[in-house]
Each structure stands twice: as structure tokens, then as C-alpha cells.
Structure 1
Amino acid sequence: MKNTKIKMDKTLERIHIIGGPGSGKSELATRLSVLMPAPVVRLDEIAYNDAALGAFGSPTDRDLRLRRVDEYSQQSCWIAEGVYFSWLGKSFREAQHIILLQTPVHIRAHNIQQRLKALPDTATKQAHLEHLLRKNDEYDELFESRISGFLSPFEVKIRVFSGPGKACKHFKRLLAG
């Protein structure tokens, strides 16, 4: 079977994906990057020095984060995925679409557990699992109390989906346009 790219629509070059832990941000970013000629920016890897190793114990300096966001935001194509907000104003301003994944909390918890099952059993793994599950439990309240207000200036760009599959289908239709 021939691997073909869907024709790129000029309004779909910069996408920022947000949602709670385990909502499917990484999965959607990967799926969209297959459809579009755009690199994926994993914000965990900007926020933490050791995120690529699956650890989150060494946060990066705020100035470094801001420089990295500035760098990718100036590019013509990108797909950023991550749940951070306080240092991502430029990313939200430059994005043409902000995808909000509102995956139900119980599905997010299941996804977190499945993702971490693949990692070797260590004390770090258990601590990370507990941390992500706690953040998952807190996310919906945090979204209502703080995050939704932060996003209000970008309302016209926000597209809400109940999971990565529905979002991917939507963008496939737009790209096929």
C-alpha cells in the first residue's frame, strides 16, 4: 500500500494540543504528524531535562523554556503537545488551532496505567504513576478554576474533542477538504 500524505491546508500548519494527563495528546500529535509535514514538539521535554528518559525530576530553567517556545513558535509548521500553561502564551498566540482533549477521567487513568506498564518496575516508575494519577484526579478542577480562564483569549482557536480518535478524524476531513 502506497504511503501518501493528505494535501496540506495552509491554515493547519501550527497546532497546539492540550488536555489532562493520559488524555491522548501524544497519540494525537503522532497521528497528525503522519498526516501533515509538521514536527511534534513534546512540551515535557522542554519542561524537564530528563523527560525523554521518562523521568521528571529535573525541571528546566524558565528562561530556557521561554526561548525554546519562542524557537518553535517562529517555525512555519509544528504540532505542540502538553498541558503546561504559564510559559506557553506565545505558542497559544501563534497556533492556528488549539485542540482541547476532554477525555473522561477514568479513561485518562486507564491510559496512564497502560503507558507505564511498558516501563521496567522501579521505585521511580511507581512514584511517577502515583504522581500522574494524582494530577489526573486534580486536572478537571484545575481546568475549571484556572486553565479555562487562561485560554479565554484564544477561544476562537479552540476545538474540543472527547478523545484523540475524534480529533484525528476531524483533521483528516479538513486536510482532505
Structure 2
Amino acid sequence: MSWVGVRGGAPRSSSPGRLHAWPAGPADAGRRSPAGRGRAGAARFAGRLEFGPPKSAAGVRVVALPAAAVEALGEHLAEHVEDGPEALIFTGAKGAPLRSGNFGRAVKWTKTVASVGLAGFYFHDLRHTGNTLAASAGASTRELMHRMGHATMRAALIYQHATSERDREIAAAIDHRIATRARRARSGQA
């Protein structure tokens, strides 16, 4: 979740049939890049659970997953998910859908985050973490808007705060460009 930055309802309502793959670029010839198309969380209507649409039209999107997330998701699918394109990827102990109200208890969230030194860390904080990681990896405001499912720049700009690590990466990239230009100038390729 922290690598993707989607809203909490998306993983709770996702199914294998909503996972997609497409050919990667030329550098990754033969490999496929994964992505997921989520739904919003579950809501109870007339005694039955239904999955609703995303929060806004911008929430209807495909979000690419990093390889580390794909590996973990593949292991989870193989070990814990029933066959079928509409089986839920994440469920409670008895196979029931996870909802906002039962999620924390089902996954022992408070105990789990405290055990890794993150007491007070909320599930939604993973969304912030994922989008901060995307911004620090160089995502533009428009790219963050897409990953986050936002129609306006306001929320995306929150994640584009400067960090000293990213500042050093930018300086290193500038150094690389300067050195490349200097080498080309010396060899007459400028």
C-alpha cells in the first residue's frame, strides 16, 4: 500500500480480475509491468455489501505497481486468495470483506504498527507515504494527480515538499549533465 498510495477502499475491494499487465518499455523487453484498477470501499445497502465507485471521476484510473509490490502481491494471491476474477484479494479471517469498521481488528493494526515502532501510524498514512515516495522519485504534479486520483493540483502539491535527500539527488543529476556536456565538448560532439 505504501508503494502505491491509493485510498484505503481500493485494496479492500480489489479482485484479481482488476489486476492488469501491459508490455513494458524496450529496456524491459519480454517483461510485463503490472497495474491495478481499484474500486471504492464497500458499503452496506439493504443488508448486502456493495462496492461503490471511486470518490471522483479522477479516481477511475490504472496505477502501476513497483516490482517489490508485485512480488509481495503475487505471493499473497498464491497463498490467500480464492480462484476467480472477482475473489477479493484482502479479506478477514473468515473470508468476509474488510470494511473500515472491521479492518483494524482484522489485521491487528494498532498492535502491528506499535511492534515496528510506529505507534499512532494510521492506515491512511500509507497513502501519504506512497505519494511522498512518488514525488521524491521525480513524479510531476500531473503524475501525482493521476496516481492519487485527484482532479486538482491542491492535494498533489502537498507531496512535493522538498527533502534533503531529493535535493542531493537533483544536485547529482545536474552534476551528471554538466559532466556529460563537458565530455562531449572536449571530444567535439557538443
TM-score in same-fold range (> 0.5):
no
Structure number, greater radius of gyration? 2
TM-score, normalised to structure 1, is 0.26
* Higher helix residue share: 1
